[in-house]
């Protein structure tokens, strides 16, 4: 499937297949599944062009697919097969596809500074490409994000940060973490909220490999 042909049902079906393979003990690495945010992501990705850069997180399956990545290569990568886009070395959490300007990092907040660096380079080259950096509301707590967002805004870099807010940092809510402290509010930061379907990691079922 290409970016234009994915549907909510198709995205859910892909993650369901990963879930079933994990439960069967065929995936020998952690998985972070998406769910409940399909429509929001599809609206955002309508604005993302093929020349744009996308920096994702450990929960990257939907981002990669909507950017135009191969479902077959992604599934093979998650399974650790040599036919995956990273030859099975990245698994679920480290998906890289330079051919479509897609990169992810399993380090929480680790993609923010890299996204800013690419944005700075694009501005110097006077490129029309933009950078989209996706993070969770847990990564929003980090200095990595705050410094990167402020740097990008102050220098008017073509970088947009997208906070995927499911109100959890692992299993701690924003009230637990912030109390009454307000979230970061900078014009180059957008946010959408959703209720997660799957647990932070895995499928909610103990699996013996």
Assign 1 a pLDDT band (cuts: 50, 70, 90): very low
Token pair of 152, please?
């990008």
Checking if the pLDDT of 2 tops 70, the result is no
**pLDDT reported for residue 184:** 79
**Mean pLDDT, residues 109-115 taken together:** 96
The model carries a pTM of 0.92
**pLDDT reported for residue 209:** 62
Tens digits of residue pLDDT in 39-96: 999 999 999 999 999 999 999 999 999 999 999 999 999 999 999 999 999 999 999 9
Residue 158 maps to a domain? yes
**pLDDT reported for residue 151:** 97
Residue 50 maps to a domain? yes
Q: What range does the domain containing 7 cover?
A: 3-175+187-193
Residue 182 maps to a domain? no
Residue 198 maps to a domain? no
Tens digits of residue pLDDT in 147-157: 999 999 999 99
Q: Number of structural domains, the chain?
A: 1
Residue 99 · residue 51 · CB < 8 Å: no
Residue 208 maps to a domain? no
Distance CA 165, CA 120 (A): 26
Tens digits of residue pLDDT in 114-158: 999 999 999 999 999 999 999 999 898 889 999 999 999 999 999
25: left (phi over 0), alpha (psi -120 to 50) or beta: left
User: Phi first, then psi: what are they for 4, rounded to 5°?
Assistant: -75, -20
Helix (H) or strand (E) holding 134, with range, is strand 131-136
CATH number for the domain harbouring residue 91: 3.40.50.970
Token pair of 188, please?
């180059």
Residue 204 maps to a domain? no
Tens digits of residue pLDDT in 151-192: 999 999 999 999 999 988 888 888 888 777 777 789 999 999
Residue 156 maps to a domain? yes
**pLDDT reported for residue 119:** 98
Residue 47 maps to a domain? yes
**Mean pLDDT, residues 28-49 taken together:** 96
User: Phi first, then psi: what are they for 91, rounded to 5°?
Assistant: 55, -150
């Amino acid at each position: 499937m290409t970016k234009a042909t994915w549907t909510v049902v198709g995205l859910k079906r892909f993650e369901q297949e990963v879930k079933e393979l994990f439960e069967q003990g065929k995936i020998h690495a952690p998985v972070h599944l998406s769910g409940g945010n399909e429509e929001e992501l599809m609206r955002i990705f309508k604005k993302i062009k093929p020349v744009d850069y996308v920096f994702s997180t450990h929960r990257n399956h939907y981002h990669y697919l909507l950017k135009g990545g191969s479902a077959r290569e992604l599934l093979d990568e998650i399974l650790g097969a040599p036919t995956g886009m990273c030859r099975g070395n990245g698994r679920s959490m480290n998906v890289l596809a330079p051919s479509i300007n897609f990169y992810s990092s399993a380090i929480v907040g680790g993609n923010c500074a890299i996204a800013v660096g690419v944005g700075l380079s694009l501005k110097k080259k006077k490129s029309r490409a933009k950078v989209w950096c996706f993070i969770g509301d847990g990564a929003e707590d980090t200095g990595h994000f705050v410094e990167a967002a402020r740097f990008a805004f102050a220098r008017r870099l073509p970088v947009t940060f997208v906070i995927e807010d499911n109100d959890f940092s692992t299993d701690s809510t924003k009230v637990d973490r912030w109390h009454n402290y307000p979230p970061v509010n900078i014009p180059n930061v957008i946010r959408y909220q959703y209720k997660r379907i799957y647990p932070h990691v895995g499928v909610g079922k103990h699996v013996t490999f």
